[in-house]
Structure 1
């Protein structure tokens, strides 16, 4: 098949977190399976731009990626050059897979694709959740959705990465057709060697953002009855991070917290492996690649029920699932600390569970089956 992916940012823009890796891994897997894959993206790299050739295809791990200049330095990612190229070339592709929503770049791209009768799949990646519609600039999003967003989306098929997202999308636009397939994640083939920790060690590894529930987690560690250490890895708004640090000082747990900052891929897996428990108490989380990464290196997880993978964790008994109440987090942390046998079982079986349920070869085959169904519509 001849497949086009449209995404606001692509590797090496790792500043944007998990979606960068998962979209790239999908594209690379499709190429390995004998397909032709092109990516249209921008030079976005946070507030800066990637230093890459612009406006011409570049081979990135076998994928033909064209980086286009953007005329804004903000999340709108406006790129007239990308739209022009798309208008000229989109008809040659069997299917177009667009990742993300709400930014002007992809909404205009979707309009162009549909005007050219292209077969379009939208992967909103959590951006059509109830949480998004009721937080931040929700009034603007609702207005955009009612004016033209709903009409655009209804003419496409949607790709949800978890069942929870599928349900939200299906409820948002009655009759909107879609499918569920998880992210494809590059997992290292490294031996599992866990270090012994003096205190029960938690690791948070994600973008530092208000929706990640770090306030709840910080308050919870002030109430547990055992020695605990929380490592926080990731970057985010400096003012918000300062607020979290001040909270830790106020409730006298600052000495229990280690701020690691952004970590590269190799460091990330070492920290995950050496922790006793990975924690993500998000108010909303579409998939969370890091949950899969943690289990791959044998570390059990504690996640909120608002993380889309919570149903999987419950079904496979790969950790603990909590609500967003501090007392419930304290209770689940206490259970996790006490249940050493369960954590050791996860350490020895977690990788096999992940391989069985997230095998790249199986997932690529499923993606292609869905692409062919959409192309034949």
Structure 2
């Protein structure tokens, strides 16, 4: 049995603000499982993205799925400006054994790092891809200046740096951060993420898709980073086969219009369905209805949707820029290709024509998810690293 810890998770957006992507789901699931294991878990966050929930109490704790969460009022300003959140962590840092901060390039993070440092509380930072090469290529000059001004302090004073994949750790090696580096993958609730075959049939029918249609699926925000512009190029050479492409997710940066134009130019508009983002509870049926999940990202520190798809029995084809590509290749639970359209054309064509090749992968995927990515497994790993980090800091302090 693990030692019970008092843990503060400090993150600018939290469940149920699902529109902000993977970290919201993965952090909330981690917090819930840590609480289920007996740890005292609190979350400080903002109400960003939750304006449509006026019944949500602000600036006071509520219990959400066993976790004490305080949603602080977001104030006008650049980025996520939440003074109440910053004041709370400054006032209460000493109450916790460890503080886990999610949010690089976030103005709220500095207050937590400073409070922990000043009050002698070890803290862990999860970059979640924000220090990877793709991120540095966006607004590079501003990020260099901000890193030197604020983020370098946040990262170099962290007792631990949490990475979600081998790729993410390797990408950050050049920063030479002194805190302990460790990998804990994002976990998922394997009781929730399961094949939903009857619901899948109903979903196909609702979208006018037949049982014979080979469905290619992508779930997640439509954004340049996701590399979705590769798909029209790859699929244009496969118009002789019976496939449909389904996108599920909100448009972040005009990518949807660009994709629509690409598919129209290739005379493939009638093969493509765009659906708005939906709550996680609706996704198992959609994953289960698909034949192949595709993620040609330019960069992805982990890829929650990859594990969700595997858990629901849908095979995956991902780029070698997705954080999990090493693990996928090593475990034989999917196909990995570089971001070259012809490679994707060849892979998709082979799987459409020889679907039996996917059965062995589907079987291996279920075992992999249960053994490696269940929330209980990942929460136990995280709890162990928390305890190791805490003990190391106290040993170091005793030597001073």
TM-score scaled by length of structure 2: 0.89
Distance 2:183 2:118 in 1: 26
Q: CA deviation at 1:190?
A: 4.3
1:201 equivalent to 2:193? Answer no
Q: Is the 8 A contact 2:333 2:362 kept in 1?
A: no
Alignment of 1:300-339 (within 5 A): 300-339=315-354
Q: Deviations over 1:320-354 (max 9, x none)?
A: 11111211221222232234222122333422221
Structure 1 stretch displaced more, 352-361 or 29-38:
352-361
Query: Cα gap change, 1:163/1:238 in structure 2, threshold over 3 Å: closer, same or farther?
Result: closer
Distance 2:194 2:180 in 1: 39
* Aligned counterpart in structure 2 of residue 65 of structure 1, from 43, 54, 69: 69
Alignment of 1:263-342 (within 5 A): 263-342=278-357
Alignment of 1:107-146 (within 5 A): 107-135=110-138, 137-146=139-148
Alignment of 1:7-26 (within 5 A): 7-26=11-30
1:38 equivalent to 2:42? Answer yes
Structure 1 stretch displaced more, 18-27 or 261-270:
261-270
Q: Is the 8 A contact 2:195 2:311 kept in 1?
A: no
* Aligned counterpart in structure 2 of residue 256 of structure 1, from 260, 271, 282: 271
Partner of 2:153: 151
Structure 1 stretch displaced more, 27-36 or 166-175:
166-175
Q: CA deviation at 1:219?
A: 1.6
Distance 1:229 1:181 in 2: 35
Give the length in aligned residue pairs: 374
Distance 1:97 1:230 in 2: 39
Query: Greater relative contact order: 1 or 2 (C-alpha under 8 angstroms, separation 6 or more)?
Result: 2
Q: Deviations over 1:289-326 (max 9, x none)?
A: 11111111111100000001111111121121111121
Q: CA deviation at 1:160?
A: 0.2
Q: CA deviation at 1:62?
A: 1.1
* Aligned counterpart in structure 1 of residue 233 of structure 2, from 219, 225, 230: 219
Q: Is the 8 A contact 1:299 1:346 kept in 2?
A: no
Q: CA deviation at 1:49?
A: 6.3
Q: Deviations over 1:213-255 (max 9, x none)?
A: 1110122111125222100111023743222212211221111
Where 2:12 maps in the other structure, the secondary structure is coil
* Aligned counterpart in structure 2 of residue 168 of structure 1, from 171, 178, 186: 171
Distance 2:177 2:108 in 1: 25
Partner of 1:106: 109
Distance 2:143 2:375 in 1: 34
Query: Cα gap change, 1:144/1:238 in structure 2, threshold over 3 Å: closer, same or farther?
Result: closer
Stretches of structure 1 lacking an aligned partner (at least 5 in a row) = none
Q: Is the 8 A contact 2:223 2:254 kept in 1?
A: no
Distance 2:352 2:309 in 1: 17
Alignment of 1:239-254 (within 5 A): 239-254=254-269
TM-score scaled by length of structure 1: 0.94
Q: CA deviation at 1:267?
A: 2.5
Q: CA deviation at 1:59?
A: 0.7
Structure 1 stretch displaced more, 344-353 or 63-72:
344-353
Q: Deviations over 1:136-158 (max 9, x none)?
A: x2211111112332232111021
Query: Cα gap change, 1:361/1:247 in structure 2, threshold over 3 Å: closer, same or farther?
Result: same
Query: Cα gap change, 1:49/1:68 in structure 2, threshold over 3 Å: closer, same or farther?
Result: farther
Distance 1:49 1:42 in 2: 14
Q: CA deviation at 1:183?
A: 0.8
Query: Cα gap change, 1:99/1:174 in structure 2, threshold over 3 Å: closer, same or farther?
Result: closer
Distance 2:193 2:58 in 1: 34
